[in-house]
């Protein structure tokens, strides 16, 4: 005997009518909207109903600090997120990451291309016209002046034989106003009783709070140099460095070695490469970025199938710092295919080229390969 288990049309209609179509909303937040002079180690969001925890991610939750006309994204990781199901409560650990005396805006993504925050029925979070639910608060003011981390100074005071293409860097105890940094830092070559300014570019990392000075060209060999940071340096709340800092070092009189590099695979344990990836290219020293190019005949960096070496595949190249670049193809590569990346003719800041071409071979995954 065969039994058929199903639902009548009427039952289906009743089930459809009773389905949850209500958008979830934010019931409360800590700190509250417009709250001032706050000091918190975590941000709390209470929802109107249970939320799918898989939709609470670092790309659906943003915290933006707004200070001195700058917008700075506050960094946090997936490990900083916790969701308490029974309490319908999200907690974001931000201990030590918020900027004192700054307005902070929290943005929760709704229909982020279908990947925003949703309830257990798949309804997206109720948001404003910008597709975010957002609120803001102001942290307590900062009156503590920034300081230099003494052990971070590179090169160290009175260093001898420093590389002529090496960088000058320094770390701070808190976030620094970039404009004040450009005005406060100087590098000079000491020539007799004269100080000759060395032109260059300052790169500041908000994540590490490290400032790096990259000279426009190689420093003079066997020269004496003086780096200074004066008290016009400010943190993001306008507090000035209390005491100027200066130190001297001497460059090597020995010619620089040729640049070498290593490629970092996107997944070192993978048997084969994905068809789309990003590679980190790490040189042993600062290089002339104009010598590393995706155009030319041939380009100094190029990607091609081993079976068709004259057909170069379009790539994107971006500079991370003076010695690190990121490289990625502009389109999906063919599966189960041998490819080669060739780099040649790259020069360091002293104009020394690579001694020979470097080839990096890899094979893309087949359809059955696992990531």
The string of pLDDT tens digits covering residues 174-206 is 999 999 999 999 999 999 999 999 999 999 988
Instruction: Give how far Cα 319 sits from Cα of 54, 288, 289, 324, 329, Å.
Output: 33, 11, 8, 6, 15
Q: Which two tokens stand for residue 359?
A: 């080839």
Q: Which of 60, 70, 66, 144 is nearest to 102 (CA)?
A: 66
* 53 part of a folded domain: yes
Same domain, 27 and 133: yes
What is the CATH classification number for the domain harbouring 343? Answer: 2.60.40.3710
Q: Is residue 302 over pLDDT 80? A: yes
* 341 vs 263: which has the higher pLDDT: 341
Residue 225: strand pairing partners: 189, 249
Same domain, 281 and 358: yes
Same domain, 269 and 336: yes
Domain that holds residue 170: 150-251
Same domain, 228 and 271: no
Last residue of a domain, one of 97, 114, 138: 138
Same domain, 295 and 316: yes
Last residue of a domain, one of 138, 165, 191: 138
What is the CATH classification number for the domain harbouring 116? Answer: 2.60.40.1220
Same domain, 245 and 284: no
What angle is formed at CA 241 by the lines to CA 235 and CA 242, rounded to 5 degrees? Answer: 145
Last residue of a domain, one of 203, 218, 251: 251
Q: Which of 87, 82, 31, 37 is nearest to 56 (CA)?
A: 82
* 7 part of a folded domain: no
Same domain, 34 and 104: yes
Same domain, 201 and 266: no
Q: Is residue 154 over pLDDT 90? A: yes
* 9 part of a folded domain: no
State pLDDT tens for residues 79-133.
Answer: 999 999 999 999 999 977 898 888 999 999 987 667 899 999 999 999 887 789 9
Same domain, 282 and 323: yes
Radius of gyration in angstroms for the set of CA atoms belonging to the chain, rounded to a whole number: 28
- Mean predicted confidence (pLDDT) in 287-302: 89
Q: Among 44-53, 63-72, 218-227, name the most confident range.
A: 44-53
Confidence of residue 223 (pLDDT cuts 50, 70, 90): very high
Q: Among 80-94, 132-146, 158-172, 307-321, name the most confident range.
A: 80-94
3-state secondary structure of 22: coil
Q: What percent of the chain has pLDDT over 90?
A: 49
* 158 part of a folded domain: yes
Q: Which of 154-158, 252-256, 312-316 has the lowest mean pLDDT?
A: 252-256
* 114 part of a folded domain: yes
* 4 part of a folded domain: no
* 346 part of a folded domain: yes
Q: Which of 135, 138, 42 is nearest to 92 (CA)?
A: 42
Same domain, 110 and 163: no
* 116 part of a folded domain: yes
Q: Is the pTM of this model over 0.75?
A: no
Structural domain count of the chain: 3
Same domain, 132 and 158: no
Same domain, 226 and 267: no
């Amino acid at each position: 005997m065969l039994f058929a288990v199903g639902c009548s049309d009427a039952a289906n209609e009743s089930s459809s009518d009773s389905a949850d179509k209500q958008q979830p909303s934010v019931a409360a937040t800590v700190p509250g909207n417009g709250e001032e002079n706050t000091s918190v180690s975590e941000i709390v969001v209470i929802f109107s109903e249970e939320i799918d925890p898989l939709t609470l991610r670092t790309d659906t939750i943003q915290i933006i600090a707004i200070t001195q006309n700058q917008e700075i994204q506050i960094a946090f990781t997936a490990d900083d997120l916790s969701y308490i199901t029974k309490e319908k409560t999200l907690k974001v650990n931000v201990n030590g990451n918020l900027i004192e005396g700054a307005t902070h805006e929290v943005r929760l993504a709704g229909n982020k291309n279908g990947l925003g925050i949703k309830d257990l029925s798949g309804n997206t979070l109720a948001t404003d016209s910008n597709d975010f639910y957002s609120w803001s608060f102001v942290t307590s003011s900062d009156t503590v002046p920034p300081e230099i981390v003494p052990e971070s100074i590179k090169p160290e005071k009175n260093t001898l034989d420093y590389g002529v293409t090496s960088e000058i860097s320094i770390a701070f105890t808190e976030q620094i106003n970039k404009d004040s940094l450009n005005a406060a830092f100087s590098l000079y070559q000491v020539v007799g009783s004269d100080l000759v300014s060395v032109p260059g570019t300052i790169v500041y990392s908000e994540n590490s709070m490290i400032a790096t000075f990259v000279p426009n060209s190689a420093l003079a060999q066997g020269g004496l140099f003086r780096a200074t940071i004066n008290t016009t340096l400010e943190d993001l709340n306008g507090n000035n460095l209390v005491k100027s800092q200066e130190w001297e070092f001497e460059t090597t009189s020995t010619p620089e070695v040729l640049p070498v590099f290593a490629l970092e695979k996107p997944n070192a344990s993978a048997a084969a490469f994905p068809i789309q990836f990003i590679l980190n290219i790490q040189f042993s020293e600062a290089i002339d970025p104009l010598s590393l190019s995706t155009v030319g005949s041939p380009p100094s960096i190029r990607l091609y199938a081993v079976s068709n070496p004259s057909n170069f595949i379009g790539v994107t190249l971006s500079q991370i710092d003076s010695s690190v670049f990121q490289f990625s193809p502009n389109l999906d590569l063919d599966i189960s295919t041998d490819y080669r990346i060739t780099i040649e003719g790259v020069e360091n800041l002293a104009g020394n080229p690579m001694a020979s071409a470097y080839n990096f071979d890899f094979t893309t995954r087949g359809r059955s390969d696992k990531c």
